[in-house]
Every structure is written in structure tokens, then in C-alpha cells.
Chains A and B, each alone.
Chain A
């Protein structure tokens, strides 16, 4: 028996099954994707409302904001929260980066002048339960509320109630803590400079 015939005799079921399962997965993804996207959009809206509490509505302030991440460039959308009287209450954008186990996706909010952060909410993460997933907890996330939009640094010891550019890491989850800081450092100032270029902020 030739090598090709032997290969086909051994593996035809695997090849057929892989093709069929691929089609099944593609169908499931196509059918369920609108629901998943709608859920993500709702989560984004809810997160922005929790971060920028004075905002009555959220409008798209700029799209295709380019943020270089290593060799690739990520396009981000920036939303502005508008108060009842029509003033800008703050800006929010989605940012992502590599975490310990999977990517981490955050919604980051800033004040109207893009001087200080107003905090973040986790949109997606698969960090280790009990350790890395503490990036969702107040102990860690509240250190970002009021932190300046400049290069943030991770410190293993310090007072987490002091709001400045130094962020106290989560004990036992330094990689996840550092991942959040890297996301802020990658996106924060880049988004600000892009918005200045586009004339959205001064």
C-alpha cells in the first residue's frame, strides 16, 4: 500500500470529523455572535455608566484611535459621557493586553480633561480565581481612581489608599497586577495624544 493510501486509510475519519466540526463551530459562532456582541455592548454601557456616574448619555467621541501594541496596531473607540446639561463628564475607551492566563480587556475612564483616570472595569479576563481575578476587587481597582495619566509603576509594598502613579500589587498575583498597569501605560497616553491630534481634547 502506498504511503498516501495508508495515510488516508488511517486518518480519513479524523479529517472528515475535523471538517464537519469546523462547519458546526462556524455555524454556531455565526448564529450566536449577534447575541454575544449585544451582551458585550450592554456590558460596556453599564461599565461606563458605573465609572462616569455624572454622565446621562454616552456618545462616540472618536473611532479608529490607533494604539501601537508591539508589532501590531489596535484600533480603539473612545466614548464621551455627557451630562444632562450637555457638558462632558468624562471619556471611556476599551483597552486590552496579555494577562497571566488569557487576554485582559478593560474599560478605562478618564476625566473630561484627560488628566486623571476615573477608574476601570474588567470586561473580560480569565485570571486565576482567588489570585489574578482580584484585579476586579476594590482593593486593587480603586487605586486607579484619580491616578494621573502618566507612566504608572507597580510596587509590591505601600499604601493602597494613597492615589498616585504607584500602584500596590495584589499579593500572589504580580503578573496580573502588572498586566493591568501595562494596559494603562500602553493605552492611556497614546489615546490622549490621538484625541489631541483629532481635536477632541486640548
Chain B
């Protein structure tokens, strides 16, 4: 893999939060974004798992970047990601079994999450360890924050609660649809529209 000029750490970190936010700007990781954002707790757990896998896979890919054969790199990335996803899944089963059951197949599905393979290909396979770790943290936090915002909106509107604490006035009638897949699509669509408006105004 070819070496490129070392990017600055600050912009690398903040890119994942806004400019290259994996969900809002790159539209990656749509499956968990839509599936696990009915409530805040599973969304944060999913975000934590993605951060763990991103950091571990970026470290491994960065360390072996000079040894990678171009035609075998996707295979190596998948092998690396699958290993850390399996470990994340085992950790959840061991220490947060209720959350593991709530997330169901979506934790193993992180293996095919485009964000992780994208960062392995676009960043870790071309940069050193520090840049790769900073990129993983920035992208992971960007993903987690986006999921958390989506999940907060959906949980509040569908139950009137946030993290099982009532936050709406007593007369509030919950919108059950917001807890269903339709609520995920509507909320994501509105947020994407808002982000587009903000971006256009800024440019």
C-alpha cells in the first residue's frame, strides 16, 4: 500500500463528527442506523461496539499495511473485522446479556458494516497507527452521536421517555409509529434534510 502525507490529527478526528460523518454525510451503516434506534440504550451500545471494532481493526490494518497484497486486502480486512466483532459479541453476552439479546443479530452484522471496511480501506491501510486510531475514534463517535440523536428523538416521541425517565408533559400521547421502522425512516430523512440545508447555507 502506498504511503501518503500524514494528515493532521485535529481535522482527522473532527471529520468523523461532521464533515465526513459516516451516517449523515457518507450514508454508511444504514442498517444499524435504522434498526437499533428505537431507544437510546441499544443505540449507545451499538455505538460502543462499533467504536471498539473500528479502533481494533484500524490498529491491526495499520500495522500490517505494508505487508498487504492488493488483491488480498479485502479478505484480510474482513478476517480482522470478523475477529473483533466476535469478541465484542462475546463481551456483550458476558457482561450485558440483556442488551445483547435486545440487539440480536445486529451485533454480528457489524462485520458487514461499511463504515469499518471503509475506514480500513480509506485510512488505516494508508496511514500510521496514531492517525488510524484517531480516525477510528472520530468516526466511531460520529456514528454513535448520530445514532444517539436519532434514538433520542424516536424514544421520546414513541414513549414520552428517555432512558426510561419521563420527559414529556403528562398529557402527551405517544406516537407509536416512531418506535416502528417507519419512524426510523422519517426521522433519518428529516435529519438528512436538515443537514443538507445547514451544509448548503454554510457553503
Contact = CB atoms under 8 A, between A and B. Distances in A.
Interface stretch (B8-16, B83-91, B140-148): B83-91
A18 B72 CA distance: 13
Interface stretch (B21-29, B46-54, B74-82, B131-139): B74-82
Interface in A32-48: 32, 35-36, 39, 43
A17 B68 CA distance: 11
A56 B13 CA distance: 56
Interface extent on B, as a size class? Answer: 20 to 34
B69 interface: yes
A101 B105 CA distance: 9
Interface of B is mostly: helix
Interface stretch (A6-14, A69-77, A158-166): A6-14
Interface in B32-75: 35, 64, 67-69, 72, 75
B172 interface: no
Given A14-B76, A17-B79, A32 B93 contact: yes
A86 interface: no
Interface string B85-116: 01100110111010000001100000000000
B116 to A, nearest CB: 15
B69 to A, nearest CB: 6
Contact of B105 (A10, A11, A126): A126
Given A21-B83, A24-B83, A36 B93 contact: yes
A43 to B, nearest CB: 7
B69 A10 contact: yes
Interface residues of A, number: 23
A28 interface: yes
Interface string B123-163: 00000000000000000000000000000000000000000
Contacts, number: 57
Nearest to B35: A129
Contact of A21 (B67, B75, B80, B91): B80
Contacts of B91: 28, 32
Interface in A124-183: 125-126, 129-130, 133
B7 interface: no
Given A29-B90, A126-B104, A129-B35, A43 B76 contact: no
Contacts of B180: 130
Nearest to B91: A32
Contacts of A28: 86-87, 90-91
Contacts of A29: 90
Contacts of A101: 105
Contacts of A17: 64, 76, 79-80
Contact of A13 (B35, B64, B86, B94): B64
Contacts of B76: 13-14, 17
B181 interface: yes
A13 B90 contact: no
B35 A14 contact: no
Contacts of A36: 90, 93-94, 97
17 contacts: A10-B72, A11-B72, A13-B67, A13-B68, A21-B79, A24-B83, A25-B83, A35-B95, A39-B93, A43-B97, A101-B105, A102-B105, A125-B104, A129-B104, A129-B105, A130-B180, A130-B181
Interface of A: 10-11, 13-14, 17-18, 21, 24-25, 28-29, 32, 35-36, 39, 43, 101-102, 125-126, 129-130, 133
